[in-house]
Structure 1
Amino acid sequence: MAATTASTNNISKSNDTIKSGAEKPMQVRLGNITAARAVADAIRTSLGPRGLDKMIETGRKEIIISNDGATIMKHLSVLHPAAHMLVDLSMSQDSEAGDGTTSVVVFAGSLLAACEKLLNKGIHPAKIVAGFKNAAKAAVDVLEGISIPIVLSDRESLLKSATTSLGSKIVSQHSSTLAPIAVDSVLRVVDPSDEQSVNLSDIRIVKKIGGTIEDTMLVPGLVLNQNVITSANGPRRIEKAKIGLIQFQLSPPKPDMDNQIVVNDYRQMDQILKEERTYLLNIVKQIKKAGCNVLLIQKSILRDAVNTLSLHFLSKLKIMAIKEIERDEIEFLCKTLGCKPIADIESFTEDKLGYADLIEETEINDAKFVQISGIKNQGRTASIVCFGSNQLVLEETERSLHDAQCVIRCLVKKKSMVAGGGAPEIEISQKLFKMAKMQIGYESLCFSAFAEAVEVIPITLAENAGLNPISVITELRSKHADGEKYAGINVKKGMITNIIDENVLQPLLVSTSLIELATETIERDEIEFLCKTLGCKPIADIESFTEDKLGYADLIEETEINDAKFVQISGIKNQGRTASIVCFGSNQLVLEETERSLHDAQCVIRCLVKKKSMVAGGGAPEIEISQKLFKMAKMQIGYESLCFSAFAEAVEVIPITLAENAGLNPISVITELRSKHADGEKYAGINVKKGMITNIIDENVLQPLLVSTSLIELATETFNNKWNKKTFFKAKKIKTFKIYMGYYSILKRNDIPSKFKVMVIKAIIHAVSTCGGELLGMSATRYKPLQQVVDAATRTLAKCGKSAALVRLRKELSLTDQI
């Protein structure tokens, strides 16, 4: 599958007029929506029990057959940034709920289609986002209202949910085998004292080719994918096992560098072999002395984990050896067996061993694996052995089991279920349509659009099942209007039934996270910080490693929240004045935006610490400044009066931009603000949420005084650096030309408000180009050379003579009617 990016054709070079500021952003938004919807449409056909399976060829030429949304999205080569957000969305749903990964992408695509319709109606994007957020909250409330509470002891309800999850998979016909395994494996690892943290990595799935999926089983104890080493006639079965897990090798040591040793004397050769034999024998004797009779050996990349001689010694001492233990298995094995990893032979002691009643190599369906049973003090882990005819079937079985386990994990976290078959989506749609009638303005349109978008789930279920979606949705709406809130699509029977009676259930968490995540979609130097916090000092070399450079804390532990691991250090002695924040989010973009928003809020508090005063927000102080400056302008003479008026007009760009970005009429808003401030209402500002003018202090919209004062001072300082007499007019002509061209390039940008463009042109470009420097207080000898350069720049930009230059520039900037 491929994602294509649309490009605009027939772009004219220089003579075409510049597009209006509203047209280009609209095209960008629609392009983003089109790209994202293309991804949603590609995956839509795989939704539901009758969804189609996708065959994917990876970059490594591996073939994957699956209808799991997260798996498909993971292997799609999506280049468009907006479309790639749907890939992140699917990954977030997989992390949060584990199921519904296809549904969340399909629903997000439907929401984007609804956005496109609202944008074409002229509704501002900010209002659409606000409306959809309110609709999402209402939808979650509806879901919680129709949810069915459960208890973990109700095994039948858990099986129903697991079966529903498996019903849309390739292995759905084996649900009766896999569903109990998924339920029992999750319940086995649940800690009664902390049910919210269920770690599915504590469940081990071993895949073996042979037999059928029906042979898949949940094994009591532990299963190892590795086989027993029997090349030296070592034991295959050990009772009352004492298990050691070593991370060193039972082979002769090697030098760090490759060297060649030439031995010419056979006596020296015998001496080398004797030393090797003695070295390995001593290691094996020490292992036996500690009481160990089963040895798990970690895989080594430096040299052979074991050699023939060491295996011979182990066999003689009746020690079972299992090698090729992967590094990422160590933690799981230690947690299950209660043993500790041993890094060298000197630390091989009895207290680091694990104990089990029996270890034996088992063979089922011609597949061999090691089974450890009767483990003493076994940790909360589980082992599953999957059987299948080939590797593709095994991988899909593993993914399906994982999704079913995630469903049970959701029920452990949030003990409520909702119906499947599109029933909750239709119920949400009906409730939102009713709520839309009680809303006013854009809120009503957004609620209706959201209600229509959420129906994409039952529509897609019907389409993929070969049913008529129009008649199915019509019948569903009718039944839900009559109060049958559990009426849904029975895909197997091809009709509308009470979906609860059909045992089609799913966790509430899957549905709520689906709606919330889909709606959410519409480097610092650490050394100094750590030293300041922990009270330690950085150590550059081992010679300077002394106790006085250490930091002290009561506890350091690895914590896991929302499947994210991080290290937490608490009880730090002599902690410096630092703080740490952990941010969580559905994807990297959300996290980055959260970080930026937090930083801005912290800067606001810092401003209040520096200057303990606040002013109103919402454009109120800017309008007040404008009103005062207009009054002062009347008392000035000459160019001072013009400058005061220009400054007063320029400062109004803030409330104008606030109004434009909120989808309000900026002219009427500014007119009303001026009127209220003229009447003495100095705190009257734009309430963006309500879309009206209110007393902004009563709305608790405040900002530090330092923000507003620095804004004005810095902006004015930048202006002065470019245009005051002492610096600018001493510049060379080429510098003047560049500055002029720079201002023009800024004015061409579509994100610059029109009012600001008018102010700059009136105050600077228009003044110098037509009236010379007289308005800026310059003598003729000073402004004439400058005016010649500005005239030349104007003609260059407009590509015409001086008489038509300004007319042409104003036309290109879409300001003809404002100047």
Structure 2
Amino acid sequence: MMRPGQVLVLNTTAKRETGYQAQLRNINVGRETANVIRTCLGPRAMLKMILNAMGSILITNDGNSILREIDVTHPAARTIIQLSRSQDEEVGDGTTSVIVLAGEVLSVSQELLEKKLHPTIICGSYQRGLQAALHVCNLISRKIDTDNKEEMFSLLRTTLGTKFASEWMDMMCKLAYEAVRKVTVRRKDRTDAPAEIDLKRYAKVEKIPGGSESQSEVLDGVMMNKDPTHPKMRRKIENPRIILLDCPLEYKKGESQTNAVITNENDWEAMLRAEEEEVKQMCDKIIALKPDIVITEKGLSDLASHYFLQANITSIRRIRKTDNNRIARATGATIVHRPEELKEADIGTECGLFEVRKIGDDYFSYFVQCKDPKACSIILRGASKDVLNEIERNLQDAMCVARNIMVNPRLLPGGGATEMAIAAYLAKTAAEEEGVAQWPRQSLSTAFEIIPKTLIENCGANIIRTITELRAKHHEMWTKVSGKEPLKEDQPLWGINGNTGEIVDIRKTEIWEPFSVKTQTFKSAIDSACMLLRIDDIVSGVKKKAGDGEQHEPTEAELEEMAE
């Protein structure tokens, strides 16, 4: 905190980047960041091995995971990396594409800056080009029936085809689809309202090393790594009555200011009896409702466990808040804060089976066969932790794609077809811009071609010949259609086969991507590039030690002298 009269002094002796130098530096940083993960795009993507600061090794081709582990110092690079995180939080997929596209938009802007074109003109043209790109997306999109498993699986295969888990494609598609369907909540009073799908809270992935990947499953309920508090408690209960608490079932000790004066043995015994009586009263209020299972987030004393055992009740303690919320949602129970407030309506009765199973050396409590679970656990089995971690990242992407389709059931062609259609449309309509604003429109058209170019490059095909042929096909398409009405279903949409590098009709190969993922990618990439192009000065506010002619923080005497 600055003192009254204190002056903030920037480190003016450090080399400042201003004007064109700052813009050029930001462009180079964006290009280099994109080049790091360009080879991670498409089904022929390469893996990256990253050694983090803790000494552990990460092997993945997920763009967000790679950039999260990279240590960078330049502020523009941090902005680009933050773009990938925002994309992952918003739609859960397209983290590599958004970085590659943003880097290319910055790269094509360098030539415009060299022509002395003002960044405001460039960014204005880019924003109008973005609106034209979203217009094209609306023209070439198609709707999908979310209840049709085959269509949904076809879409998820496109997502998982570029991932490490593609070896277990059908199983992963089934897991992602079932998990999203289980946690989907639709409003009964408004059928037109979008579905509520909270994967982060209610779809928990549990990784158990050992076994084969085919043993992975989605439970119609919740599983957690917990064991009953007493070995003689029941470990298998059908149709249990469940009580959930977030308060401790033990005697609450006094704080540090509490003093107890004990003068004889009877006083000590009276204190112990008071503690036991307090615990017994809490347990009696719970036992009166005749539950089968009692679960609390806090502690549960041995005495309370003894009373529950005598009443034939199974108790579990110290579970996570998130697990408690999932159990409440799956079983219909209400989390209660005090045993005195318990009533019959708070008891969960929608669980069909409670069972404790031993897997390896650990015990797991299963709450399954729930009638209408709005929460679920996804069990992943695999050979090692590294494999399980990568499968989990791939599964999260697939679930996010399924969620996006449930919320907005529209698709766009994959394989670079959408980007090439936008590029051809921008090139065709560049004359609509006035004067020199046509140049940024043409450059943006070139930038959109980076996605199909990267797919071709990762396949090892001839980039120039293939992209020229693809460009000609899309130019021919826009000469036949008006550009104002949606494309007909028999109109071919040309893209790249990510495995062979050949030009194919996306409608026949069924390579589709979610509408929300694509549009979010375009918005994020262009908005981020425009923000970086508007930066014309980079200064440092970091203080350095005095010496060698470097700036130092002024003393109080110097401040008084400056004030005079």
Normalising by the residue count of structure 2, what TM-score does the alignment of the two structures yield?
0.81
Q: Distance in 1 between matches of 2:35 and 2:248?
A: 54
Question: In the alignment, which residue of structure 1 is the partner of 2:354?
Answer: 359
1:107 and 2:101 matched: yes
**SS of structure 1 residue aligned to 2:317:** strand
Q: Distance in 2 between matches of 1:9 and 1:34?
A: 24
Aligned equivalent of 1:502, options 489, 504, 509: 509
**Alignment root-mean-square deviation, CA:** 3.2
Question: In the alignment, which residue of structure 2 is the partner of 1:486?
Answer: 493
For each residue in 1:172-195, what CA deviation from the matched residue of structure 2 results, as whole angstroms up to 9, or x when unmatched?
211210112212222333334332
**SS of structure 2 residue aligned to 1:235:** coil
Q: Distance in 2 between matches of 1:60 and 1:213?
A: 28
Instruction: Output aligned runs, 1:268-347, within 5 Å.
Output: 273-298=272-297, 300=298, 305-347=299-341
Partners of 1:226 and 1:324 within 8 A in 2: no
Q: Distance in 2 between matches of 1:438 and 1:282?
A: 80
Question: In the alignment, which residue of structure 2 is the partner of 1:214?
Answer: 214
Q: Classify 1:250/1:62 alpha carbon distance in 2 versus 1 (closer, same or farther; 3 Å).
A: farther
Amino acid at match of 2:382: G
Question: In the alignment, which residue of structure 1 is the partner of 2:176?
Answer: 182
**SS of structure 2 residue aligned to 1:324:** coil
1:249 and 2:248 matched: yes
Aligned equivalent of 1:431, options 405, 408, 425: 425
Q: Classify 1:328/1:57 alpha carbon distance in 2 versus 1 (closer, same or farther; 3 Å).
A: farther
Q: Distance in 1 between matches of 2:325 and 2:338?
A: 18
Aligned equivalent of 1:403, options 388, 394, 397: 397
For each residue in 1:5-60, what CA deviation from the matched residue of structure 2 results, as whole angstroms up to 9, or x when unmatched?
xxx9998xxxxxxx9xxx94111111121122222221222112222223334444
Deviation at 1:277, TM superposition (A): 4.1
Partners of 1:226 and 1:322 within 8 A in 2: no
Partners of 1:425 and 1:454 within 8 A in 2: yes
Q: Classify 1:48/1:9 alpha carbon distance in 2 versus 1 (closer, same or farther; 3 Å).
A: farther
Question: In the alignment, which residue of structure 2 is the partner of 1:202?
Answer: 202
For each residue in 1:604-626, what CA deviation from the matched residue of structure 2 results, as whole angstroms up to 9, or x when unmatched?
xxxxxxxxxxxxxxxxxxxxxxx
Q: Classify 1:264/1:392 alpha carbon distance in 2 versus 1 (closer, same or farther; 3 Å).
A: farther
Partners of 1:211 and 1:365 within 8 A in 2: no
Partners of 1:132 and 1:447 within 8 A in 2: yes
Q: Classify 1:138/1:468 alpha carbon distance in 2 versus 1 (closer, same or farther; 3 Å).
A: same
Question: In the alignment, which residue of structure 2 is the partner of 1:68?
Answer: 62
Amino acid at match of 2:291: C
Partners of 2:473 and 2:494 within 8 A in 1: yes
Partners of 1:432 and 1:447 within 8 A in 2: yes
Question: In the alignment, which residue of structure 2 is the partner of 1:373?
Answer: 368
Q: Distance in 2 between matches of 1:291 and 1:446?
A: 73
Larger CA deviation: 252-261 vs 131-140 = 252-261
Question: In the alignment, which residue of structure 2 is the partner of 1:84?
Answer: 78
Q: Classify 1:245/1:509 alpha carbon distance in 2 versus 1 (closer, same or farther; 3 Å).
A: same
Deviation at 1:319, TM superposition (A): 0.9
Question: In the alignment, which residue of structure 1 is the partner of 2:159?
Answer: 165
For each residue in 1:288-329, what CA deviation from the matched residue of structure 2 results, as whole angstroms up to 9, or x when unmatched?
11111101120x4xxxx1233332332222111122211233
Deviation at 1:111, TM superposition (A): 0.1
Q: Classify 1:365/1:148 alpha carbon distance in 2 versus 1 (closer, same or farther; 3 Å).
A: farther
Deviation at 1:239, TM superposition (A): 2.1
Partners of 1:363 and 1:369 within 8 A in 2: yes
**SS of structure 1 residue aligned to 2:155:** helix
Q: Distance in 2 between matches of 1:227 and 1:10?
A: 56
Aligned length in residues: 504
Question: In the alignment, which residue of structure 1 is the partner of 2:90?
Answer: 96
Q: Distance in 2 between matches of 1:271 and 1:24?
A: 78
Q: Distance in 1 between matches of 2:360 and 2:425?
A: 54
Aligned equivalent of 1:516, options 511, 523, 526: 523
Aligned equivalent of 2:125, options 123, 131, 150: 131
Partners of 2:229 and 2:316 within 8 A in 1: no
Q: Distance in 1 between matches of 2:120 and 2:259?
A: 73
Q: Distance in 2 between matches of 1:264 and 1:99?
A: 69
Q: Classify 1:250/1:122 alpha carbon distance in 2 versus 1 (closer, same or farther; 3 Å).
A: same
Larger CA deviation: 39-48 vs 392-401 = 392-401
Larger radius of gyration: 1
Q: Classify 1:268/1:249 alpha carbon distance in 2 versus 1 (closer, same or farther; 3 Å).
A: same
Question: In the alignment, which residue of structure 1 is the partner of 2:5?
Answer: none
Q: Distance in 2 between matches of 1:159 and 1:367?
A: 34
Percent identical among aligned pairs is 30
Q: Distance in 2 between matches of 1:61 and 1:264?
A: 58
1:39 and 2:39 matched: no
Amino acid at match of 2:429: M
**SS of structure 2 residue aligned to 1:354:** coil
Question: In the alignment, which residue of structure 2 is the partner of 1:48?
Answer: 42
Larger CA deviation: 162-171 vs 48-57 = 48-57
**SS of structure 2 residue aligned to 1:488:** strand
Question: In the alignment, which residue of structure 2 is the partner of 1:26?
Answer: 20
Instruction: Output aligned runs, 1:531-546, within 5 Å.
Output: none
Amino acid at match of 2:405: L
Q: Classify 1:60/1:251 alpha carbon distance in 2 versus 1 (closer, same or farther; 3 Å).
A: farther
Amino acid at match of 2:528: T
**SS of structure 2 residue aligned to 1:77:** coil
Aligned equivalent of 2:416, options 404, 414, 422: 422
Q: Distance in 2 between matches of 1:216 and 1:235?
A: 27
Q: Distance in 2 between matches of 1:37 and 1:139?
A: 22
Partners of 2:430 and 2:438 within 8 A in 1: yes
Deviation at 1:482, TM superposition (A): 4.8
For each residue in 1:410-462, what CA deviation from the matched residue of structure 2 results, as whole angstroms up to 9, or x when unmatched?
22232211221112112222222222255452232112101111111111122
For each residue in 1:679-737, what CA deviation from the matched residue of structure 2 results, as whole angstroms up to 9, or x when unmatched?
xxxxxxxxxxxxxxxxxxxxxxxxxxxxxxxxxxxxxxxxxxxxxxxxxxxxxxxxxxx
Q: Classify 1:157/1:258 alpha carbon distance in 2 versus 1 (closer, same or farther; 3 Å).
A: farther
For each residue in 1:739-783, what CA deviation from the matched residue of structure 2 results, as whole angstroms up to 9, or x when unmatched?
xxxxxxxxxxxxxxxxxxxxxxxxxxxxxxxxxxxxxxxxxxxxx
1:454 and 2:448 matched: yes
Q: Distance in 2 between matches of 1:196 and 1:277?
A: 49
1:121 and 2:120 matched: no
Partners of 2:224 and 2:366 within 8 A in 1: no
Deviation at 1:257, TM superposition (A): 2.2
Deviation at 1:196, TM superposition (A): 4.9
Amino acid at match of 1:245: L
**SS of structure 1 residue aligned to 2:71:** coil
**SS of structure 2 residue aligned to 1:426:** helix
Instruction: Output aligned runs, 1:736-775, within 5 Å.
Output: none
Deviation at 1:520, TM superposition (A): 0.9
Q: Classify 1:278/1:128 alpha carbon distance in 2 versus 1 (closer, same or farther; 3 Å).
A: same
Q: Classify 1:370/1:500 alpha carbon distance in 2 versus 1 (closer, same or farther; 3 Å).
A: farther
Question: In the alignment, which residue of structure 2 is the partner of 1:790?
Answer: none
Q: Distance in 2 between matches of 1:260 and 1:234?
A: 38
Q: Distance in 2 between matches of 1:336 and 1:126?
A: 53
Amino acid at match of 2:354: I
**SS of structure 2 residue aligned to 1:314:** helix
Partners of 1:208 and 1:367 within 8 A in 2: no
Q: Distance in 2 between matches of 1:196 and 1:127?
A: 41
